[in-house]
Amino acid sequence: MVGKRLPAGTMSEAPSPPSLAVVIVAAGQGLRAGQAVPKQFAHWRGKPLVRHSAEAFAAAGFSPIVVAIPEGADEVAAKALTGIAEVRYVVGGASRQASVRTALKALEQDAPQYVFIHDAARPLLPQTVIDRLIDALSTHQGAIPVLPVIDSLVEAIGSQMGAPAPREALRRVQTPQAFSFDAILAAHRAWHGEANAGDDAQVAQAAGIAVALIEGDEMLQKVTTQSDFAAPVAAVRIGTGYDVHRLVEGEELWLCGVKIEHSHGLSGHSDADVAIHALVDAILGAVAQGDIGIHFPPSDPQWRGASSDQFLAHAAHRASLAGYAVGNVDLTIVCEAPKIGPHRKAMQARLASILDVDIGVVSVKATTTEGLGPMGRGEGIAAQAVVSLVAI
- 293 alpha-carbon distance from chain centroid: 24
pLDDT at site 366: 96
129 and 157 together in one domain: yes
How many domains does the chain fold into? 2
Q: Residue 15 falls within a domain, yes or no?
A: no
Beta strand segments in the chain, E: 20-25, 43-44, 47-48, 65-69, 87-91, 114-119, 142-148, 153-157, 160-165, 171-173, 177-180, 211-215, 236-248, 253-255, 258-260, 265-267, 324-334, 362-367, 380-391
pLDDT at site 3: 37
Q: Residue 45 falls within a domain, yes or no?
A: yes
What's the rounded Cα separation, in Å, for the pair 236 and 233? 9
Q: Which amino acid belongs to residue 71? A: E
**Closest-CA residue to 282 (of 333, 329, 349):** 329
What's the rounded Cα separation, in Å, for the pair 369 and 381? 11
53 and 178 together in one domain: yes
What's the rounded Cα separation, in Å, for the pair 323 and 124? 10
What's the rounded Cα separation, in Å, for the pair 270 and 307? 6
Taking the whole predicted model, whether its pTM rises above 0.85 is answered as no
What's the rounded Cα separation, in Å, for the pair 249 and 129? 43
Residue where one domain finishes, among candidates 214, 229, 244: 229
Q: Residue 346 falls within a domain, yes or no?
A: yes
Q: Residue 299 falls within a domain, yes or no?
A: yes
Q: Residue 139 belongs to what domain range?
A: 20-229
242 and 224 together in one domain: no
Q: Residue 39 falls within a domain, yes or no?
A: yes
Surface-to-core class of residue 384, CB atoms within 10 Å of its CB (0-12 exposed, 13-18 middle, 19+ buried):
buried
Q: Residue 2 falls within a domain, yes or no?
A: no
Q: Which residues pair with 382 in a beta bridge?
A: 244, 334
DSSP class of residue 96? H
Q: 51-54 long-range CB contacts below 8 Å, 24 or more apart?
A: 51/80, 51/81, 51/84, 52/123, 52/124, 52/125, 53/24, 53/118, 53/120, 53/122, 53/123, 53/125, 54/24, 54/81, 54/84, 54/87
Cα angle, residue 309 at apex, residues 304 and 315 outer, rounded to 5° = 100
What tens digit of pLDDT does each residue of 183-239 get? 999 999 998 766 567 899 999 999 999 999 999 998 899 988 776 766 556 789 999
pLDDT tens, N- to C-terminus, the chain (392 residues): 333 334 444 444 556 789 999 999 999 875 554 455 788 998 887 789 999 999 999 999 999 999 999 999 999 999 999 999 899 999 999 889 999 999 999 999 989 999 999 999 999 999 999 999 999 999 999 999 999 998 899 999 999 999 998 888 899 999 999 999 999 999 999 987 665 678 999 999 999 999 999 999 988 999 887 767 665 567 899 999 999 999 999 899 999 999 999 999 999 888 999 999 999 999 999 999 999 998 898 888 888 889 999 999 999 988 987 889 999 999 999 999 999 999 999 999 999 999 999 999 999 999 999 999 999 999 999 999 999 999 87
